[in-house]
A and B are shown apart, each in its own frame.
Chain A
């Protein structure tokens, strides 16, 4: 039971990460910076509870806020670049964040010894959950309430005018601009909200693992972050959840019986899914034939406009 609870906790955290990428992908921007906001949230929340003794709620809130502010700050210069250049620029940002934490040394003395980020050695001792008697079930409930809350907020946003603006910008920027849509507001707001969600996810992550270090927040994590919405299907929020369950639940944990082959199969399955359902697991009906000419595939079959540099 404990194992499934733990697994569901991990799935919850990764779903939040995926949802943060979903926001930004929706406006047609491929951002590899979600891992960076995740790291900012993780360190911020960890420092607040472990070093300053705050309780979890305010710590998570502030962590999300800080991540969001930094995301908005990134969102403005990100307006100037599109497509592959944005991918590389956000990758560079994520690497900078990781390296800043790699160099960060700030410790305070507590009765249990020095606690705080210690450069390359990481930041340990974030024991808020076990020390305050949170049971696995309680942590799980917290995480999934947050996931449900975020999904609800995003769903409402999607249904509202903001969602329409986002989708318009995502489909075709030029047309959106001609229709008088403020591109800046749409893109930066997507960055900000995505950043907040990623920061929230990071805050929970650091409390779940009790020890974080720069090596947790590499480009691989950022790649996973955008993989979830892409594999799940950008048209649907639930798709991200399904993709996380598929990757974390099935590919990583479920395939353990394959032993050595699990890691090899991991990349192969992602590849296979993209070939069979390029618009994601939860989107258009299954394309039955792989071998008909793909050049003339239906044009607006989940096209998001991203990548058209």
Chain B
């Protein structure tokens, strides 16, 4: 392989890993909800993209960082809405029913986006879009770097929240031992609801970051993000947040690598095969979630 091809390979990998930060954020959201409720919320990626769309409402009057914040807030709102509509009134043991209800929600959110925008792509503001750093022969995109760093900051914030706050304690308690937690006086319902809201904040940020990294928002994003988010969650280990982070970066980098080597038509085949390899050799994911006594 010529030197220039090697340079391109490394550049591809770098770009992919940085873009993978958006996958990591979505994966964290999926895994957080799964860890606490043992249920999957298939409408999560759609809600994240929806929150980014909602933040477009203030894009003409607010500076970009405020738009991102608004996206996070809208994400939290949508998260609460999804909890209230899809999960609150269904018995916890009806796993299939909750699965289907989130599918219904996914369809509603996607159609709502399409109806509101007639399906046309909408420009999304990016910070540092015109800044590029040159690291020797490599180019680092300013806006991707910002997305990556913001994602890292969010993850650190989440870790802090989970380990140092009461809410985080309650979340972890309910995740490990719901019955014991109830005995200790924690409201499972409230904890679940707040988990959805927090995951919603994350999702809103993820949606905004994805929009910023691509430059446009489109309803086309919802389904592929859902699939990638699920892949990331499974590779990382269900319920494990550091796992989701690492897996997101790995999937982002691998995707770019496969595309570089084999082209775009076969790229996803290899990403899926990589998932299978992980399932065979590490069926519990990169980091298995801290188990409780069921």
Q: Which residues of A contact B (CB under 8 A)?
A: 25, 30, 77, 80-81, 84-85, 87-89, 91-93, 95-96, 99-100, 102-103, 119-120, 218-220, 223, 227, 230-231, 234, 260, 263-264, 266-272, 274-275, 278-279, 290-291, 294-295, 297, 299, 301-304, 306-309
Flag if A271 contacts B227 (CB, 8 Å): no
From known contacts A30-B96, A275-B89, infer whether A103 and B111 are also in contact, taking CB-CB under 8 Å: no
Q: Taking the nearest CB of chain B, how far is it from the CB of A23, in angstroms?
A: 15
Q: Is the CB of B89 within 8 A of A99?
A: no
B266 in the interface (beta carbon within 8 A)? yes
B99 touches A30 (CB 8 A): yes
Contact B268 A274 (CB under 8 A): no
Complexed CA–CA distance, A96 and B188 (Å):
39
CB distance from B193 to the nearest CB of A (A): 14
Chain B positions within 8 Å of A, measured between CB atoms, are 34, 38-40, 85-86, 88-101, 103-112, 114-115, 188, 223, 227, 230-231, 233-234, 238, 265-266, 268-269, 272-273, 275-276, 279-280, 283
Query: Can you list 5 contacts pairing A with B, beta carbon distance less than 8 Å?
Result: A102-B265, A230-B97, A267-B108, A272-B104, A306-B95
Total A-B pairs, Cβ < 8 A: 152
Whether B108 and A271, one on each chain, are in contact in the complex, defined by CB atoms closer than 8 angstroms, is yes
Please name all residues of chain A whose beta carbon is closer than 8 Å to the beta carbon of B231 when the two chains form the complex.
88, 92
A87-B102 Cα distance, complex, nearest whole Å: 14
Please determine whether B227 and A263 come into contact, CB atoms closer than 8 angstroms.
no
Contact flag A77-B223 (CB < 8 Å), given A267-B104, A275-B101, A297-B93 = no
B233 to chain A, nearest CB (A): 7
A308: chain B residues at CB < 8 Å are 38, 95
Q: Knowing A88-B234, A103-B265, A267-B106 touch, does A307 contact B223 (C-beta < 8 A)?
A: no
**What is the bound-complex CA distance between A186 and B73, given in angstroms?**
48
Interface contact B111-A263, CB-CB below 8 Å:
yes
Collect the chain A residues with CB atoms within 8 Å of residue B276's CB. 77, 89, 92
Given known A84-B234, A89-B275, A220-B223, contact A270–B99 (CB-CB < 8 A): no
Q: Within 8 Å CB of A307, what residues of B?
A: 38-39, 95-96, 99
Partner of B90, one of A96, A218, A272, A274: A274
